[in-house]
Structure 1
């Protein structure tokens, strides 16, 4: 896994990679219960987490970046209830989704995935649980640039 160090408290120059998802509005297909709400995966705290309802596939977790950005990577910090298969998807309108990465054979822990494309919304779409429980993420971090050159046009997703 690559290590990154980002400087907090400053606005990055256009075209400079930045953490875009922290503190942004979040939603999910389901929640295990109180204390596991979607926004907890974007709060910057490693001791809190989002957890989906148990025993059902698919499930998803989505963040609204607030503005369209050129995506560079997504980092997922899984709890013990992780996905063995999932997709990283993006959207400019929150309705039409484009697959940016597909993961099979996931083993939990931390996944740092390079992605490209322009999006306002990013979601993790879990298609296969590795355990009988739901999906659970301590943190989902979306990185990218705003105000720079677009990296690619978003094509409609036929699904």
Structure 2
């Protein structure tokens, strides 16, 4: 039939799919894609406001797609935030810029006086919390059916979760 047997991990719709947790080296590939955008010559000569738009529309959107399918390591998310911060404050003449405002204030919503840049660690937890809420409320979803069939005796609300998950 022309179908080849493959090995994990595979890429599906741009996201890495594996049998277990995605290795950190593969998670970093997503961040490297974003780095390429930030290192692009055209992105060096844009204004501060343009950088904020680029961060919100592209740089933070690429990892969000992968975050919706996998659980990213804290280190990888911190590396990404560090690179975004340095990109935001870097001027075209200098390699490093001065961080004039704390990242906590920048990550606030525009209504609260920030720039509206989303913190990916918060986004990660929000995405996965939504998946947990889908389990009892969206019985028609294929992944809910799959987990329900696989773990028939699993009761989500009485399960003791690990507290040190990264």
The TM-score normalised by the length of structure 2 is 0.28
Greater share of strand: 1
